[in-house]
Amino acid sequence: MFGSFQIESLATVNACLNGLATILLLIGYVLIKSRAKAKDVVRIEWWHKVVMISAFVVSAIFLVCYLIYHANVLHVRFTAQGPVRYLYFTILISHILLAISVPVLAIMSMYYGFRVQEPPVAGDPYRHKHRRLTKWAFPIWLYVSVTGVIIYLMLYIYPGGAEIETSSLPRLVNWLHSSC
């Protein structure tokens, strides 16, 4: 517990951050796809950058909250039985494996995106690299954000979903702090 804040609340915060990242990613996608029909391409690209930076910041905040949560909550077990258990682990394993790549893909995509020449210039190598990379990065990042919300729903909303084991480490740190 941080003051009056329950550490268990971070699971809900994390799901909301994943949901917000999903919405921002979809808005960024719609913006960049509408560029071909837009009269003001520079403005569309500017809004695309703003939205994608926001998605990155939201995902970074999620990562910090996730690490804080799992430093305090040792283990969360999915206790439901039957076919839903297999579905849960299929989603969880694919989520974890793809989530590992998201920070690197997002940072590289942003790097190339920031290097793109303004106004758009034909043959810009960074625009080409950005587009090639985001063909992989966008669907992976979107999948990880969506499945993060699904995992939360299956653990904390689905009846009989989660059994939470709290870490003793924060209690040990508090005890050591109060003893000195």
CB within 8 Å of 42: residues ≥ 6 apart: 118, 119, 120
Residue 175 lies in a domain: no
The pLDDT of residue 173 is above 60? no
Residue 176 lies in a domain: no
The pLDDT of residue 23 is above 90? yes
pLDDT at 70: 85
Cβ atoms of 149 and 15 within 8 Å: the answer is: yes
pLDDT at 146: 98
For 5-14, b/e burial (b = at least 16 CB within 10 A) is: eebeebbebb
pLDDT at 157: 87
SS3 sequence of the chain: CECCECCCHHHHHHHHHHHHHHHHHHHHHHHHHHHHHCCCHHHHHHHHHHHHHHHHHHHHHHHHHHHHHHHHEEEEEECCCCHHHHHHHHHHHHHHHHHCCHHHHHHHHHHHHHHCCCCCCCCCHHHHHHHHHHHHHHHHHHHHHHHHHHHHHHHHHCCCCEEEEECCHHHHHHHHHHHC
Residue 4 lies in a domain: no
Cβ atoms of 161 and 78 within 8 Å: the answer is: yes
Q: What is the mean pLDDT of residues 147-162?
A: 89
In this structure, the chain runs to a length of 180
Which residue range(s) make up the domain with 131?
A: 9-169
pLDDT class of 123 with cuts at 50, 70, 90: confident
Backbone angles phi, psi at 101, to 5 degrees: -85, -20
pTM as predicted: 0.84
Residue 146 lies in a domain: yes
Residue 18 lies in a domain: yes
Give the Cβ contact number of residue 63 at 10 Å.
Answer: 15
User: What CATH number did the domain enclosing 123 receive?
Assistant: 1.20.120
Domain count, the chain: 1
pLDDT at 166: 63
pLDDT class of 61 with cuts at 50, 70, 90: very high
Of 2-16, 38-52, 68-82, 141-155, the range with the highest mean pLDDT is 141-155
Residue 179 lies in a domain: no
